[in-house]
C-alpha cells in the first residue's frame, strides 16, 4: 500500500541538481563546462526531426495505441533481430516515454516490503530510489574497479536469497563505463536457474555505445530466462534524443499486459509525432549512430589520457557508454567536495561518485558527451586545480 510517506523515500538524480547549479553560474556570466550531464551533445539527426514534423503536419495529433504504434513496435523487433539475431514479437514491445519508465514499471511490479531487489552500486541512482519507494530492500551488487567495472556473476549470485524478487543489470554501464563480458553473463544466467523466483531487468540503454571492438551482449540472447526477463532500452542515448522521451521495453508474456494496463492508467500513450520520429530513427540510415560513436571514442581516449596525467588521479579505460570514472583517492579529496570545488572554483561540472552509490566514494564521473575542445579545456582546468592544490 503506497502512502504519502513513501514519497519521502524517493531520491533524486544529482546530475540534474548539478546541471541547475552549472546553469545558474553560467547565468552569472561564469564560463562553465559541463561534464556532468549524461546526454549526447549532438542534435538529433535531421531525418528523424523531419519525420516527426511531417507526422505533425499529417495530422498525427491524437492518442495512439497505449502500447505504441504498431509499425514502431515492429521496427523495434526487426532492429533487435538485425543487430542480435534474436526473435522478439512486436506484441512483447511496449513503447514508453523514456527509458526511466520501464525501470519504474518493473521495480513497482516486484518491489514491496520484505522483497529484496539487487541493483548495481555504483549504478544509475534511480534504481535505488525506486526500490526504496516501493518499500523493498535495496541490495547493492558491487561494481569494482579491479574487475574493469564489470558485473561479477559469483558476487551477484551470492547475494540472492529466497526473498530476492528482481535483479537489475546494466551493461554498458552508467556511471563507470563498464561492459560485462559474455562469459560472465553466461555464468550469471546459469546460476539463475537455481533461483526461479528472481526476475531480471536488463538496462541496455547504452547498447550501441561500445568501443575497442567490444560487442554488446543482450540478455534477450538467453532463452532460459526469457520468461522472466524485462529489457529496458530507448532512443535517448543512441540517437541523441534525450528530450524526446522515447523508450521501449520488452516484457515476458505474463507481465506484458500488466505493463500495458499501467500505460493506460498513467500516460495513455507516448507522444504521437515523437513515435514517428523514433520509427524513422530505426528504419532510416544508421550513419549518424556510427559517427556519434566514433566521436565518443576519440573523446574517450582524450579523457583517459588527460585524467591519467593528473596528480593523484587514475582512470580505467571505459569500454562503453560515455562516462569515465576516475579514481581520485590519491588527490586527498573526498569525491563530492572535489566535484563541488571543481564546479565552483574551476567552472567544471562533474558528478561525485557517492551520488551513484556507497561504493562511489573515491571516484568522480566525467561525461565525455561534450566536444573535444570543451573536454580539453575542462580537464586542463582540473589539472591546474589539482596541481595548485598539491
Q: Which residues make up the interface to ligand PLP (CB under 6 A)?
A: 38, 98-100, 124, 170, 174, 203, 205, 234, 236, 242, 247
Residue of 140, 131, 92, 126 lying closest to 108 (CA atoms): 131
Residue with smaller CB distance to ligand PLP, 96 or 313: 96
Residue with cell 543512441: 238
Q: How far is the CB of 126 from ligand PLP (least distance, A)?
A: 7
Query: Of 174 and 327, which has the nearer Cβ to ligand PLP?
Result: 174
Nearer to ligand PLP, 205 or 255 (CB): 205
Closer to ligand PLP by CB, 345 or 358: give it. 358
CB of 39 to ligand PLP, least distance (A): 7
**CA 151/CA 173 separation, integer angstroms:** 10
Nearer to ligand PLP, 38 or 318 (CB): 38
Q: How far apart are the C-alpha atoms of 74 and 72, rounded to whole Å?
A: 5
Question: Closest distance between ligand PLP and the C-beta of residue 203, in Å?
Answer: 5
- Give the nearest distance from C-beta 211 to ligand PLP in angstroms: 17
For ligand PLP, give the closer residue by CB, 104 or 385: 104
Closest CB 73 distance from ligand PLP, rounded Å = 17
Phi, psi of 247 (to 5 degrees): -140, 170
Residues in the chain, total: 390
Q: Are 75 and 93 within 8 A, CB to CB?
A: no
* Cβ-based neighbours of 182, under 8 Å, separated by 6 or more: 217
In degrees, rounded to 5, the angle at the alpha carbon of residue 339 between the alpha carbons of residues 337 and 340 is 60
3-state secondary structure of 251: coil
Please, what is the minimum distance in Å from the beta carbon of residue 242 to ligand PLP?
5
Euclidean distance between CA atoms 263 and 151, whole angstroms: 31
State the Cα–Cα distance between residues 362 and 384, nearest whole angstrom: 20
* Residue nearest to ligand PLP according to CB distances in the complex: 99
Sign of the dihedral defined by the CA atoms of residues 125, 348, 361, 367, in that order: positive
Amino acid at each position: 500500500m503506497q502512502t504519502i510517506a513513501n514519497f519521502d523515500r524517493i531520491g533524486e538524480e544529482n546530475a540534474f541538481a548539478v546541471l541547475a547549479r552549472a546553469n545558474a553560474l553560467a547565468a552569472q556570466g561564469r564560463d562553465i563546462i559541463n561534464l556532468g550531464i549524461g546526454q549526447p551533445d549532438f542534435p538529433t539527426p535531421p531525418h528523424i526531426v523531419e519525420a516527426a514534423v511531417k507526422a505533425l503536419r499529417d495530422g498525427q495529433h491524437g492518442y495512439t495505441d497505449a502500447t505504441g504504434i504498431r509499425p514502431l513496435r515492429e521496427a523495434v523487433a526487426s532492429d533487435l533481430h538485425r543487430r542480435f539475431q534474436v526473435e522478439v514479437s512486436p506484441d512483447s514491445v511496449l513503447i514508453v516515454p523514456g527509458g526511466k519508465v520501464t525501470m519504474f514499471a518493473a521495480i513497482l511490479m516486484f518491489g514491496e516490503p520484505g522483497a529484496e531487489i539487487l541493483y548495481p552500486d555504483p549504478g544509475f541512482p534511480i534504481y535505488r530510489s525506486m526500490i526504496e519507494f516501493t518499500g523493498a530492500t535495496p541490495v547493492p551488487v558491487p561494481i569494482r574497479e579491479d574487475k574493469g567495472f564489470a558485473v561479477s556473476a559469483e558476487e551477484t549470485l551470492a547475494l540472492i536469497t529466497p526473498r530476492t524478487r528482481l535483479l537489475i543489470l546494466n551493461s554498458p554501464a552508467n556511471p563507470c563505463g563498464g561492459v560485462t563480458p559474455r562469459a560472465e553473463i553466461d555464468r550469471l544466467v546459469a546460476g539463475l536457474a537455481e533461483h526461479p523466483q528472481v526476475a531480471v531487468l536488463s538496462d541496455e540503454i547504452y547498447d550501441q555505445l561500445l568501443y575497442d571492438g567490444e560487442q554488446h551482449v543482450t540478455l534477450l540472447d538467453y532463452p532460459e530466462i526469457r520468461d522472466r526477463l524485462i529489457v529496458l532500452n530507448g532512443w535517448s542515448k543512441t540517437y541523441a534524443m534525450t528530450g524526446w522521451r522515447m523508450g521501449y521495453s520488452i516484457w515476458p508474456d505474463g507481465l506484458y499486459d500488466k505493463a500495458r494496463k499501467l500505460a493506460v492508467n498513467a500516460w495513455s500513450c507516448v507522444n504521437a509525432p515523437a513515435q514517428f520520429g523514433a520509427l524513422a530513427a530505426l528504419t532510416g540510415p544508421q550513419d549518424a549512430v556510427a559517427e556519434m560513436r566514433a566521436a565518443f571514442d576519440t573523446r574517450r581516449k582524450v579523457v583517459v589520457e588527460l585524467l591519467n596525467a593528473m596528480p593523484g588521479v587514475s582512470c580505467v579505460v571505459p569500454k562503453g557508454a560515455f562516462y569515465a570514472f576516475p579514481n581520485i583517492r590519491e588527490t586527498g579529496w573526498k569525491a563530492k567536495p572535489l566535484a563541488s570545488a571543481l564546479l565552483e572554483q574551476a567552472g567544471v561540472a562533474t558528478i561525485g561518485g557517492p551520488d551513484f552509490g556507497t561504493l562511489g566514494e573515491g571516484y568522480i564521473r566525467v561525461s565525455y558527451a561534450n566536444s573535444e575542445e570543451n573536454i580539453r579545456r575542462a580537464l586542463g582546468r582540473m589539472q591546474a586545480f589539482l596541481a595548485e592544490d598539491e
